[in-house]
């Protein structure tokens, strides 16, 4: 069963994919940008800071309101829909962390 995407989820994914190319610092030079896919709609979103500027890592604060389920007391996005997955965008195409890790082997 899918779980909600949270900051904790992103941290765990970063630990799992460390050293494989499936994290931003390891694939940036290959043209991959952190992003998200809403599997329900097929919409792809570049990772952005709360102010809308591009983020160098996966941040949920720039996602559209319709994906956001919870915010922290300080206003940061705490959880998004369970249909949202983190991955990477290159040349307008979305890649999962696993796909990028396999490509960069």
pLDDT in tens, 55-82: 999 999 999 999 999 999 999 999 999 9
Given the structure tokens 């050293």, which residue do they identify?
19
How far, in whole angstroms, is CA 27 from its chain's centroid?
14
Indicate if the pLDDT at residue 47 is higher than 90. Answer: yes
Tokens, residue 84: 């949202």
> Residues in the chain, how many?
105
Of 29, 32, 28, 43, the closest CA to residue 80 belongs to: 43
* Contact criterion met (CB below 8 Å) for 31 and 91: yes
Q: Where are the domains of the chain?
A: 5-103
Element containing residue 15 per DSSP (H, E): helix 7-17
This model's pTM is above 0.85: yes
């Amino acid at each position: 069963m899918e779980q909600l995407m949270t900051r904790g989820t992103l941290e765990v994914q970063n630990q799992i994919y460390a050293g494989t190319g499936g994290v931003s610092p390891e694939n940036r030079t290959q043209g991959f940008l952190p992003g998200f896919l809403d599997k329900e709609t097929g919409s792809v979103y570049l990772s952005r800071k709360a102010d809308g500027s591009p983020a160098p890592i996966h941040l949920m604060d720039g996602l559209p309101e319709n994906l956001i389920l919870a915010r922290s007391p300080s206003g940061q996005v705490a959880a998004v829909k369970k249909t949202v997955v983190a991955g990477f965008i290159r040349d307008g195409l979305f890649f999962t962390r696993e796909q990028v890790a396999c490509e960069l082997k």
